[in-house]
Amino acid sequence: MPDTHSPALRSNQPADAHAAVYRYDEFDKTFIFERVEQFRAQVERRLKGEITEEEFKPIRLMNGLYLQLHAYMLRVAVPYGMLSSTQVRRLARIARVYDKGYGHFTTRQNIQFNWPKLEDVPTILRELAEVDMHAIQTSGNCIRNVTTDQFCGAAADELVDPRVYAEILRQWSTMHPEFTYLPRKFKIAITGSPNDRAAVQVHDIGLIAKKDEVTGRVGFTVYVGGGQGRTPYLAVKARDFVPVEEIIGYLEAILRVYNQLGRRDNIYKARIKITVNEMGADKFIGLIEEEYARLPRQKFHVDPAIVDAIQTHFAPPPWVDLPAVSDSFEAAKAADPAFARWTRTNLTEHKTRGYAIATISLKPIGGIPGDAESSQLETVADLADLYSFGEVRVTHEQNLVLAHVRKDDLYPLWKALDAAGLGTANAGLISDIIACPGLDYCALANTRAIPVAQRIAERFADLDRQHDLGELKIKISGCINACGHHHVGHIGILGVDKKGEEFFQILLGGDAGTNAALGEIVGPGFDYDGIIDAVETVVNTFVNLRQPGEIFIQTLARTGHAPFKEALYARA
């Protein structure tokens, strides 16, 4: 066994004893196990033909079970993207025993299994419940999994740990009697830093941590009405500052207004973004403020004792005092260029001296974005135990993170990852692509997305070329529902059906970060064979136009779209 600094592994504690996941109490456990057995009874009715698929549909959706093109798909909740190594091993077992040997991580920080048999699903849910996991509210018109910054609790720029408030929101929203049947699904994202790493402005509600410069109090800037899909909008700022202790009351007011006024006559106009923009942002925000003023404040006040209790689940692991510079880390970088390349893209500064945050790419060249084989999941779990306090995180960009790795351990970590096909040095680069399942799985899609992502990655397989290009985010959706986030890709690709043939439109200029922006379609689409050449034309145009130090999105902002359009369509 490799040398390890894990205090848990040197003691009798479980290796993931310090993993920052919420641990269920007896009430939670009883509720989840009872829910599994209730669903098992409904599955048995369906298997016996006592209820039709249509009658079964609302029941299965409330338990995270979809019916896709070829099979059922089970979406499992990963609250705010946090997993213990025990949970990761359980996911690996489910992938191996009940699916086809892999799971797919999503942009909502969840995991999906694409091939479960209906008769196995209750047993899968029971195995999940044994490790404090479930699939509740991963579907349906309710408040979905609250997502966060994947670097929470470790980032140097963090003002508040968003996991604490994500957990409070989870408890507030789970089976909320008023918000179980909203006009449409509802998504909330939180980032605990002024720098947005959770794409908050394309969520129904987005929260960005802020410190009041006068009082020193910490709270959130609240955004409302963002979203992608067929009618994309960036969220509008509802309030510049809401203290943390008032955040539940303010969100309750938003949800109440939306629940009362959101359209239920047209599924395509039912999201809160449509309500906000049809009504006008000022009027909608005014109604929120009126509702908030009517609420009994004390009832929704976030009790500091509750915050303290939840905070214990996210207590920092037992970091030790280390020198800022690791001689072994620096020597490994000097000796191994491939490792040095990985450190340039896949490491992020940690707030504690001597540690680093490591991003594990699930985007190997030619691979399926977001997929992980069961053996890879087990490798990640083992490495998390050895090097990162038994904790694994899921990012909304479909990668994994080990948040607390000693710099001394980074080289052996990378070598183990590389041996497992998880060491690609491409985080944030052109092959780190978000792609929806597309026509390979999804009943709503009208084009393929995964093969397009694979072919782009293969076209740009040269990692030296990728690193030379710098940060460049491509996002691909197989239909207008935008599950691949194409609206906020630096280069977005939207698949459309044109008289039975796949075509792909290119959008430029989207951004999911602090300077959030929606991309603009540059012109007519390209066929399946032409889209890869078109992407390369865009990239080559950037290379010809860029100034020293510029990344793609900066060059585009400086030059505008015209030279890219000219390059794409001049020959037409």
Is it true that domain 327-420 has CATH number 3.40.50.2030? Answer: no
Instruction: Please give the full DSSP string across 39-76, using - where no structure is assigned.
Output: HHHHHHHHHTTSS-HHHHHHHHHTTTEEE-SSSEEEEE
Residue type for position 184:
R
- Using CA atoms, how far residue 158 sits from 121, 161, 190, 349, 350, in Å, is 39, 7, 12, 12, 10
Q: Which residues of 292-306 are buried (b: 16+ CB within 10 A; e: fewer)?
A: beebeeeebebeeee
Helices (H) and strands (E) in the chain, counts: 19, 21
Instruction: Please tell me the predicted confidence (pLDDT) of residue 8.
Output: 54
Tokens 């135990």 correspond to 385
Instruction: Please tell me the predicted confidence (pLDDT) of residue 313.
Output: 92
Instruction: Please tell me the predicted confidence (pLDDT) of residue 12.
Output: 67
Residues 516, 493: Cα–Cα separation, whole Å: 18
Residue spans per domain, the chain: 26-130, 158-312, 327-420, 434-570
- Residue 392: partners with Cβ closer than 8 Å, 6 or more residues away: 83, 84, 85, 88, 380, 381, 384, 400, 401, 402
Residues 77, 108: Cα–Cα separation, whole Å: 9
Instruction: Please tell me the predicted confidence (pLDDT) of residue 297.
Output: 87
Q: What is the pLDDT of residues 58-112, one digit of tens each?
A: 999 999 999 999 999 999 999 999 999 999 999 999 999 999 999 999 999 999 9
Tokens 């799971």 correspond to 103
Residues 113, 105: Cα–Cα separation, whole Å: 9
Instruction: Please tell me the predicted confidence (pLDDT) of residue 1.
Output: 41
The torsion defined by the Cα of 349, 352, 356 and 362, in degrees rounded to 10, comes to -80
Instruction: Please tell me the predicted confidence (pLDDT) of residue 2.
Output: 47
Asked if 158-312 and 327-420 have one fold, the answer is: no
User: CA angle 407-87-29, nearest 5°?
Assistant: 135
Exposure of 113 in the CB half-sphere (CA atoms within 13 A)? 29
Exposure of 74 in the CB half-sphere (CA atoms within 13 A)? 27
Residues 449, 478: Cα–Cα separation, whole Å: 5
Q: What is the mean pLDDT of each run of 10 residues along the chain (572 residues)?
A: 52 82 91 96 98 96 94 96 97 98 96 98 98 94 95 94 94 90 96 94 97 92 97 98 96 98 95 97 98 94 93 94 97 98 98 98 97 98 97 97 98 98 98 96 93 98 98 97 97 95 97 96 96 98 98 98 96 56
**Mean pLDDT across the chain:** 95
Determine the CATH number of domain 26-130.
Answer: 3.90.480.20
Residue type for position 313:
H
Helix or strand (DSSP H, E) at 508: strand 501-508
Residues 204, 226: Cα–Cα separation, whole Å: 5
Helix or strand (DSSP H, E) at 531: helix 531-545
What's phi and psi for 181, nearest 5 deg? -125, 70
364 near 424, Cβ under 8 Å? yes
495 near 504, Cβ under 8 Å? yes
Instruction: Please give the full DSSP string across 280-334, using - where no structure is assigned.
Output: -HHHHHHHHHHHHHHS-HHHH---HHHHHHHHGGGPPP------SS-HHHHHHHH
549 near 523, Cβ under 8 Å? no
Q: What is the pLDDT of residues 422-435, one digit of tens each?
A: 999 999 999 999 99
Residues 145, 186: Cα–Cα separation, whole Å: 9
- Using CA atoms, how far residue 108 sits from 160, 164, 182, in Å, is 21, 18, 19
User: CA angle 557-430-436, nearest 5°?
Assistant: 100
- Fold of the domain spanning 434-570: Sulfite Reductase Hemoprotein; domain 1 (3.30.413)
pTM recorded for the entire structure:
0.95
Residue 60 CB coordination number (10 Å)? 23
Q: What Rg do the C-alpha atoms of the chain give, in angstroms?
A: 23
Exposure of 562 in the CB half-sphere (CA atoms within 13 A)? 3
Determine the CATH number of domain 158-312.
Answer: 3.30.413.10
Spell out where 337-449 has E strands. Answer: 347-349, 355-360, 371-373, 391-394, 400-406, 434-435
What's phi and psi for 388, nearest 5 deg? -145, 40
